[in-house]
Structure 1
Amino acid sequence: MQRKTGVLSTIGSFGAWAGFPVGTVVEYAMDNRGKPVFAFSSLSSHTPDIKADPRCSLTVTAQDFQGMSSGRVTVSGRVAILEGAEAADAKSAFLAKNPQSFWVEFGDFSWFRMDDVVTARLVGGFGRIKQISPEEFAAAKSDPVAQFAAPIAQHMNADHADSITAMLKHNIGIDVDSSSILGLDRLGLSIQCKAGGQEFTCRLPFTRPAESRKDVKDIIVEMTRAAAAR
């Protein structure tokens, strides 16, 4: 969950929303225990909702989200207000990820954390769905190459677009007119393709998992050479 914003769905507690799911866009961060933390204003509609019923869900889309074929995850659980040292720790984690969010210093903001994660649902695209247990969620680690994804994709798209197209044809048998990398992770590339006047996205797996920026470079070089030698 590398994004800075997501959609928080609460159970409406007042007015026309009472009893209905209510979705709002919020900023979040993950603390050192892997739990989502938030700063909510007392003026926000989701704050009284959570105080009335702590059950809610946070939906976060992949950085390269294009539509229904793109990845997203929904984490469901109970959110609690924090105080004292716990609030200070949440603030530190939140501002490390969202340093521009000066408004959390306003007096009407409080700190919250989704302590009780009940389940999570990962959708990697059409037909790629996995239900995640609380134990699996707690044990999950950040992708080791996520922080390098944007500059690598930009470099490949600007200077090696022909290599992307060649790798697609060699590795998964797709012949396209043009292609560009939307995003990447330790397991492969998400690619936007154009062929015959149609646009679609596809997944190009790496030949092995990448654990560093150097690994990504080495793997792409190997795959490019293999495609060129075909």
Structure 2
Amino acid sequence: MATATFRVHGSLLEGAAAASSKIAIARSIHTSCIVPSGKRQVHLSVSKSANLGKIVDLRSFSGKKDGERRDGVLSVRMGASASASAPAASTSNPKLSGQVRPSPAEAARTIVDISNEGTLSTLTETESWPTATAVRFALDAQGNPVFRFSSSALHTRNLALDNRASLHVQLEQPGRQKPQCTLRGRIVKAEEPDLQEKLEIAWERRFGIERAQDDAYFIMVVEQALQSQDMGEEEVWMSGDDYSSAVADPLREFAVKIVDDMNQKHWEDVRRFTNVYAGLDVEVEEVSMTWVDRLGFDLRVLTKSREMLEIRIPFVREVTDERDARSSLTMMAQIAWERERSYNPPDVAFVGSFSVSSGG
């Protein structure tokens, strides 16, 4: 059963959530959850007549520990059929059932593919304290980070004694979201000529030709990866094999451009997405798109009551490239426009007969 998942960026939820694990949605339900810090009440509201009889699992209301609130944002993750009245959010496409955003492994591959800088931590020569510095990196075909260090570099000296290391990479998305991942593994120096050539090609593909006689190439063999959708949100561990076998999102090179175009040129459509597909029963002050991927897009909404909401809306079907994504957004915008105006298109008059004229 599909549900709409609400997440409060505050502290652990108590009170009503502890009393019952599930509630049925009536026309409007307000669930008060007591936050330990100051006993402040946070009201979660689901209001949509078409949702009558749906079930919300209160165990999916996952809060953050006290002190980890992120701007008081309430996240509203709309599932593929969370609102029965949403024309494109309800779909029978098996590829979208149960998955409305890329997997953590796909997200991690996307983050490192878009980025070329991160924070590398290695163990120091004395006392084995981890020391982190900003580094550039490239990638091989499996997503393993490739580094280039001089013989006198701090990390070169550290790795000669203990080659365990971690690389943290953070992506700055529009709307202040910061998805991030940490790769953990062992870094080895490329000694064989074939491996050196392979890593040099990977490096030059990302940074161009760089000449330095004292530099050597290193590669991290990823053993584990940790991915988080945003700062302060739950982290997910995955194996190195899961990470390496995942594929970066096909929209990664175009997402920022699509988001900018939608916010600057099609802001009315973005607002309609909130009204029609999310079905929020609140007055909206501002809304903007923050990210788009092959399975859907994220919206950030400021309400008249100054609440900040984050909404995930899935595509009707998986998109494969920039053109496909723009086409799907255009289609969803047209449907939203028609639904907002209760517009019924006229019947098409088909041609009853035709004749073929010969030339001459």
| Aligned 8 A contact 1:63 1:183 in 2 | no
Task: Tell me if 1:29 matches 2:134.
Answer: no
Q: Distance in 1 between matches of 2:155 and 2:212?
A: 17
| Deviation, structure 1 residue 65 | 7.2
Give the equivalent residue in structure 1 for 2:290: 182
Equivalences for 1:145-164 in 2 at 5 Å? 145-164=251-270
Q: Distance in 2 between matches of 1:44 and 1:191?
A: 43
Unaligned runs of 5+ in 2: 1-111, 340-360
Equivalences for 1:104-143 in 2 at 5 Å? 104-115=210-221, 117-125=222-230, 127-143=233-249
> What value does the CA root-mean-square deviation take over the aligned residues?
2.3
Task: Tell me if 1:211 matches 2:317.
Answer: no
Equivalent position to 1:88, from 188, 197, 205: 197
| Aligned 8 A contact 2:174 2:256 in 1 | no
Structure 2 vs 1, CA of residues 131 and 229 (structure 1 numbering), >3 Å: closer, same or farther? same
| Deviation, structure 1 residue 114 | 0.8
SS of 1:13's equivalent in the other structure is: coil
Q: Distance in 2 between matches of 1:65 and 1:85?
A: 40
Q: Counterpart amino acid of 2:303?
A: A
| Deviation, structure 1 residue 182 | 3.0
Give the equivalent residue in structure 2 for 1:166: 272
Number of equivalences: 222
| Deviation, structure 1 residue 170 | 2.1
Q: Distance in 1 between matches of 2:312 and 2:160?
A: 42
Give the equivalent residue in structure 2 for 1:3: 115
Where relative contact order (Cα < 8 A, 6+ residues apart) is larger, the structure is 2
Q: CA-to-partner distance for each residue in 1:20-66, whole Å, 9 max, x for gaps?
A: 22121111111123311111223432221122111111111234176
Q: CA-to-partner distance for each residue in 1:182-205, whole Å, 9 max, x for gaps?
A: 332212223444334455654333
Provide the identity percentage: 26
Q: CA-to-partner distance for each residue in 1:138-191, whole Å, 9 max, x for gaps?
A: 211121111111221221122011211221232223453223333322122234
Unaligned runs of 5+ in 1: none
Q: Distance in 1 between matches of 2:277 and 2:150?
A: 50
Equivalent position to 1:19, from 128, 139, 153: 128
Q: Counterpart amino acid of 1:6?
A: G
Structure 2 vs 1, CA of residues 88 and 65 (structure 1 numbering), >3 Å: closer, same or farther? farther
Which deviates more from structure 2 when the two are superposed, residues 147-156 or residues 57-66?
57-66
Q: Distance in 2 between matches of 1:91 and 1:187?
A: 34
| Aligned 8 A contact 2:142 2:245 in 1 | no
Give the equivalent residue in structure 1 for 2:330: 221
Give the equivalent residue in structure 2 for 1:72: 180
Q: Counterpart amino acid of 1:124?
A: Q
SS of 1:105's equivalent in the other structure is: coil
SS of 1:122's equivalent in the other structure is: strand
- Normalised by the length of structure 2, the TM-score is 0.56
Give the equivalent residue in structure 1 for 2:72: none
Structure showing the higher helix proportion among its residues: 1
Q: Distance in 1 between matches of 2:132 and 2:309?
A: 29
| Aligned 8 A contact 1:34 1:138 in 2 | yes
SS of 2:254's equivalent in the other structure is: helix
Structure 2 vs 1, CA of residues 172 and 98 (structure 1 numbering), >3 Å: closer, same or farther? farther
Q: Distance in 2 between matches of 1:155 and 1:66?
A: 14
Q: Distance in 1 between matches of 2:186 and 2:328?
A: 41
Q: CA-to-partner distance for each residue in 1:65-110, whole Å, 9 max, x for gaps?
A: 766x6321111000000132211211211221223xx6x4222221
Larger Rg: 2
- Normalised by the length of structure 1, the TM-score is 0.85
Q: Counterpart amino acid of 1:213?
A: E
